[in-house]
Amino acid sequence: MATRRHYTQEYKDQAVSLVLNSGRTRAEVAKSIGVHEMTLGKWVKKAEDSGRDPDDELSESERAELERLRKENSTLRMERDFAKKVAAWFAKEQP
């Protein structure tokens, strides 16, 4: 029998915010954060039905920091992916 994972409201709000504000699909976000797509869909629907946007609760400085961190995260992912490709290439080249 599978064990049930519990998520904090803050985690759910951040996941919903990613779906609503990043332009990515629910499936992409769900895969990237390790949550089942149906679960994320329920969180998004609940947020939409309540008319509540998790980002409405953020102050201006928090929004700016969040945007900066999202950009930094994107850059770091790109660098990580590049490093993986380089390592794979070097591994192939070795006799």
Contact criterion met (CB below 8 Å) for 21 and 32? no
Contact criterion met (CB below 8 Å) for 33 and 11? no
How do residues 38-88 score in pLDDT, each as one tens digit? 999 999 999 888 876 555 677 888 888 989 999 999 999 999 999 999 999
> In degrees rounded to 5, what are phi and psi of residue 8?
-75, 160
Query: 3 pLDDT exceeds 90?
Result: no
Q: Please indicate, yes or no, whether residues 16 and 39 belong to a single structural domain of this protein.
A: yes
CATH code of the domain in which 21 resides: 1.10.10
Q: Please indicate, yes or no, whether residues 77 and 45 belong to a single structural domain of this protein.
A: no
Which residue range(s) make up the domain with 40? 1-57
Q: Whole-angstrom Cα distance, residue 89 to residue 83?
A: 10
Position 81 scores a pLDDT of 94
Q: Please indicate, yes or no, whether residues 44 and 90 belong to a single structural domain of this protein.
A: no
Q: Average of pLDDT values for 12-19?
A: 88
Matching residue, tokens 């953020």: 58
Contact criterion met (CB below 8 Å) for 16 and 47? yes
Position 20 scores a pLDDT of 85
| Domains of the chain: total | 2
